Amino acid sequence: GENVEQHPSTLSVQEGDSAVIKCTYSDSASNYFPWYKQELGKGPQLIIDIRSNVGEKKDQRIAVTLNKTAKHFSLHITETQPEDSAVYFCAASRGGGGNKLTFGTGTQLKVEL
Amino acid sequence: SAVISQKPSRDICQRGTSLTIQCQVDSQVTMMFWYRQQPGQSLTLIATANQGSEATYESGFVIDKFPISRPNLTFSTLTVSNMSPEDSSIYLCSVGQGADYGYTFGSGTRLTVV
């Protein structure tokens, strides 16, 4: 089955700096890669996703890149703000919402003033 | 995207008892998923629930421990049976809305077994 590795496990940045979180996956048939933000006491919230026919996707301060050959994808957050502090999870799936998601181990992001 | 209501939001239960968690969706969905998130850990899939068929369980999870019902396209329940402290976790339901869409999660049920 699919295996998703995520690094780093913790990340501390100064407000205004950029943050990068990286994931690798093992199943070459995976074609849907979402990123979730989980705040304390809440369920995961989708922040951005990318499909295997696209190499990069951007939404304001958040971007995701995908390298299918190397089987890795990354989350980039620019101009970080204190409200970006949370746990971020990457995930992978075959075919999007019709199939199960396999999650990475999570990254605790702390944005310091 | 779908809106999910999950109940209860938290509970403290005695060991040996059972708890049923409800997941209500505001639209009809084909796929519903139940996840467990142990303290400080990632999400692990327990089972996939399709309406009208038996749930499909992942390795390490069994129906006797985590029975699931899926009576219609907007509702599902997960029961955590004969609980022990090791079952203390957050339990989350999620829905998939087809291959062209993503997944939405409920807010979770924080379970503490004492």
A37-63 pLDDT, tens digit per residue, is: 999 989 999 999 999 888 999 999 999
Q: What phi, psi does A20 have (nearest 5°)?
A: -130, 130
**From the list B31, B41, B104, which residue is nearest A98 (CB)?**
B31
Percent residues over pLDDT 90 in chain A? 84
Q: Rounded to an integer, what distance in angstroms lies between the CA atom of residue B45 and that of residue B64?
A: 16
Question: Would you call A99 an interface residue with chain B, using a CB distance cutoff of 8 Å?
Answer: yes
**A35 lies within 8 A of chain B by CB:** no
pLDDT tens per residue, range B50-104: 887 889 999 999 999 999 999 999 999 999 999 999 999 999 999 987 656 678 9
How much is the average pLDDT of A30-35?
93
Q: Is the peptide bond before A8 cis (omega within 30 degrees of 0)?
A: yes
Q: How many other CB atoms are there within 10 angstroms of residue B51's CB atom?
A: 16
pLDDT value at position B54?
87
Q: Do B106 and A43 touch (CB under 8 A)?
A: yes
How many whole angstroms separate alpha carbon B24 and alpha carbon B109? 13
Instruction: Find out whether B59 and B7 touch, Cβ atoms under 8 Å.
Output: no
